[in-house]
Every structure is written in C-alpha cells, then in structure tokens.
Structure 1
Amino acid sequence: MWSILLALGTGIVIGVVFQSLRIPSPAPPMLGLIGLIGMFLGQRLIPWIKLLLNH
C-alpha cells in the first residue's frame, strides 16, 4: 500500500511541476489510461476466478 501512495504522491507533485512550467504531459490520452486500468483489473481477475473455481 505504501508504494501505491508514494507513486500517487510523486505523480501529483510532477503534475504540479509540469503544469506550473507549462510543459505538456507525456502521459497517454484518457482512453489509453482507461485501457491500462482494464488490463490491470484483468490481471487481478484471473487469479480470483481460479481461486473461486478451486473451492
């Protein structure tokens, strides 16, 4: 959990710096970020399904 909070905090700080210096964000568009979230959830879903089928 600590690493997630550290990554989120770092991202927020970098976002503030980029915005204050008017540097465009190198992040992918919102649609790409939604796809990454879907990939993450899919990776977490398969072990959960396997666990349910084994019980």
Structure 2
Amino acid sequence: MKAYLISLAAGVLVGLLYSVMDVKSPAPPTVALVGLLGMLGGEHMIPLVRTWLALGIH
C-alpha cells in the first residue's frame, strides 16, 4: 500500500510541475486511463465474488 501512495504522490507532484511549466503530459488520454482502471477492477471481481460466496456473503 505504501508503494501505491508514494507512486500517487510522485504522479501528482509531476503533474503539478507540468502544469506550472505549461507542458503537455506524455500520459495517455484520460479515456485510456479509465479503461485501464476498468480492466483492473474486472481482474479483481472474480476472486472477490468467490470469496464472498465462500463466506456466505450475499
């Protein structure tokens, strides 16, 4: 979890720097990032549902 927070903080810092310097970010478009987020969510759905079913949580 700590690595994720450090990564997020570094990303925000670089984003702020790009904004101050008026430089366009080389990151993919927002729609691509949202798609990646959806892929990560979908990847974790089946194990989560299996866990819920094993515990009897409905």
Q: Same fold (TM over 0.5)?
A: yes
Cα shift at 1:4: 1.3
Determine the structure 1 residue equivalent to 2:35: 35
Cα-to-partner distance string for 1:12-41 (whole Å, 9 max, x where unaligned): 110011111111011111211110110010
Q: Write the distance in 2 (CA, Å) between the matches of 1:46 and 1:28.
A: 27
Q: Write the distance in 1 (CA, Å) between the matches of 2:19 and 2:51.
A: 44
Q: How many aligned positions are there?
A: 54
Higher RCO (CA < 8 A, seq sep 6+): 1
- Gap runs ≥5 in structure 2: none
Q: Write the distance in 1 (CA, Å) between the matches of 2:45 and 2:11.
A: 26
Determine the structure 1 residue equivalent to 2:22: 22
Q: State the superposition RMSD in angstroms.
A: 1.3
Identity score, percent:
35
Q: Is residue 50 of structure 2 the alignment partner of residue 50 of structure 1? A: yes
- Gap runs ≥5 in structure 1: none
